[in-house]
Amino acid sequence: MAYFKNMDVVNVTALPMVAVEEGLTQACLVGSIHQVNERIAEVDLTPKSLDNILKTADKKLLAELYQYPQFNDSMPNDLPNGVDFCDMVANVVRSERNPFTGKFFCSHKDLEKFLSSPPIRAIWLDSFWWIFHERYQRNREVQNKLFERIAQQYALLLFHGSRPHSEEAILKRLPSLLSKGLYTSFSCCFPQSWLNTHEFKSDICNTISLWISGIYPSPLGYDSWDYSNLDPERFWREGLISRRRRRRKAGLNQTLPLTRPAVTDKRVLSHPACKIPVMSSNCFNIYGKSPLLVYFLLNYATLRQCGRDVLITRTERTKTVPYPSLLPLPRSKVTESSLTYADVIKLTLCNMKKRRDNLLQLTQFRCSEWTYFDKYLAELQDNFLRLWIPHRLLIGICGP
């Protein structure tokens, strides 16, 4: 939709039109057309002018060029470019559906209600603008105000009191849910920016997880996200490009359906059969303090914290295991790192079957050979007895 709006701006600016009412005479119509031609002649249609128009139209759709609105002390600023917050919540809720079972980890209505609650909405929006400033327009003063309000809302969320079981399950996934929410918000607010990068997604996941739990999330956890719901425009665009490539490769004229490909390769659930990455030692607070709560308690709580932090050393992965591609590889390019444990098990079972078949063939050959040998030995014995017995009888009759 943003693209067509931009094209409307370009069309109105580059090709102005004059409204013509019905029932006008031919002379009036000719005069109106003459006015249109004069307007077109006045417009500069040079490539440079059109580039400036396109840049002006796309300026708000680029995060790098977007101008941050003034900080609002009373409430969080809305998402830019008219993006509806409820639509972003719906994107996250749909992305939580299990692609294999089609079920949610909790009631999708409870999840939607929780993510739409005032504290989560405030945390979501303020986190969006904090990351926006951190990456595109650094402003520590505004970022400090945003972080302070995020800490207040998070403490309010936790000190709410008793809550149903579904909210407890949602709170355990809160870092992941907020990370998905921020990614889909950036993708929908700034569709012209290239945000599908490891750096951008890891920054979002690391920031939210460190704020809430005080530890880094699992590396590359965003690889399992449902981008058809979180980034629908890019997913549709890439699907269209892929469909065109397949149509061009196949040389067919029929229209191929643009649907999400079903994941049928079980290797996505199997771990690569290779050496584990190098582990690093880091200190970890066993109390698992949240920086948001620590900030709130230090600045707003009357009861100060007492005691000491207990730090222990833990090991964590510094690099992730490279998962193999789902595309079949030629035999000449198959390496140890391109195999998963499922592949190794499958190859082992194939080798076992082949050895069993070879052993069965060898056993059958041995049995056939022994049968032939026994038969040949029996024939020799019969021939011997047929010659030996008459010979003995002849010696007995004639004497020595």
Q: Does a structural domain hold residue 329?
A: no
Q: How many CB atoms lie within 10 A of CB 23?
A: 6
Domain match, 102 and 149 both: yes
What the block records as the tokens of 260 is 């999400």
Domain match, 16 and 95 both: no
Closest Cα partner for 200 from 216, 212, 182?
182
Most confident range (mean pLDDT) of 29-38, 79-88, 208-217, 293-302 is 79-88
Q: Does a structural domain hold residue 246?
A: yes
Q: Does a structural domain hold residue 263?
A: no
Q: Is residue 337 pLDDT above 70, yes or no?
A: no
Q: Does a structural domain hold residue 325?
A: no
**Mean pLDDT to the nearest integer, 209-234:** 85
Domain match, 243 and 99 both: yes
**Mean pLDDT to the nearest integer, 231-253:** 73
Q: Does a structural domain hold residue 326?
A: no
Query: What is the reported pLDDT for 270?
Result: 64
Query: What is the reported pLDDT for 201?
Result: 92
Side-chain-side CA neighbours of residue 22 (13 Å): 0
Query: What is the reported pLDDT for 300?
Result: 82
Centroid of chain to Cα 308? 40
Domain match, 207 and 299 both: yes
Query: What is the reported pLDDT for 341?
Result: 81
Domain match, 92 and 49 both: no
Task: Work out the pLDDT band at 195, boundaries 50, 70, 90.
Answer: confident
Domain that holds residue 53: 2-61
> Is pTM beyond 0.75 here?
no
What does residue 328 show for φ and ψ, rounded to 5 degrees?
-65, 140
Cβ atoms of 278 and 318 closer than 8 Å = yes
Query: What is the reported pLDDT for 22?
Result: 38
Q: Is residue 124 pLDDT above 80, yes or no?
A: yes
Domain match, 185 and 123 both: yes
Most confident range (mean pLDDT) of 125-134, 193-202, 294-303, 368-377 is 125-134
**Mean pLDDT to the nearest integer, 104-112:** 85
Average pLDDT, the chain: 75
Q: Does a structural domain hold residue 273?
A: no
Domain match, 84 and 137 both: yes
Q: Is residue 347 pLDDT above 60, yes or no?
A: yes
Give the β-pairing of 311-317 and 279-285: antiparallel
Cβ atoms of 205 and 177 closer than 8 Å = no
Residue range 348-357, pLDDT digits in tens: 999 999 999 9
Is 76 strand, coil or helix?
coil
Bigger pLDDT: 333 or 196?
196
Q: Does a structural domain hold residue 128?
A: yes
Q: Is residue 35 pLDDT above 70, yes or no?
A: no
Q: Is residue 261 pLDDT above 50, yes or no?
A: no
Domain match, 214 and 311 both: yes
**Mean pLDDT to the nearest integer, 42-62:** 54
Q: Is residue 115 pLDDT above 50, yes or no?
A: yes
Domain match, 125 and 205 both: yes
Number of domains present in the structure of the chain: 3
Domain match, 129 and 211 both: yes
Task: Work out the pLDDT band at 249, boundaries 50, 70, 90.
Answer: confident
Domain match, 377 and 303 both: no
**Mean pLDDT to the nearest integer, 308-322:** 65
In the beta sheet, which residues pair with residue 283?
A: 313
What the block records as the tokens of 174 is 């809160």
Q: How far apart are CA 201 and CA 179, in angstroms?
A: 8
Query: What is the reported pLDDT for 248?
Result: 76
Q: Does a structural domain hold residue 50?
A: yes
Q: Is residue 140 pLDDT above 90, yes or no?
A: yes
Q: How far apart are CA 27 and CA 87, in angstroms?
A: 51
What the block records as the tokens of 345 is 């098990």
Query: What is the reported pLDDT for 364?
Result: 93
Domain match, 13 and 111 both: no
Task: Work out the pLDDT band at 53, boundaries 50, 70, 90.
Answer: very low
Q: Which residue has the tokens 């105000």?
A: 145
**Mean pLDDT to the nearest integer, 321-337:** 48
Q: How far apart are CA 255 and CA 24, in angstroms?
A: 45
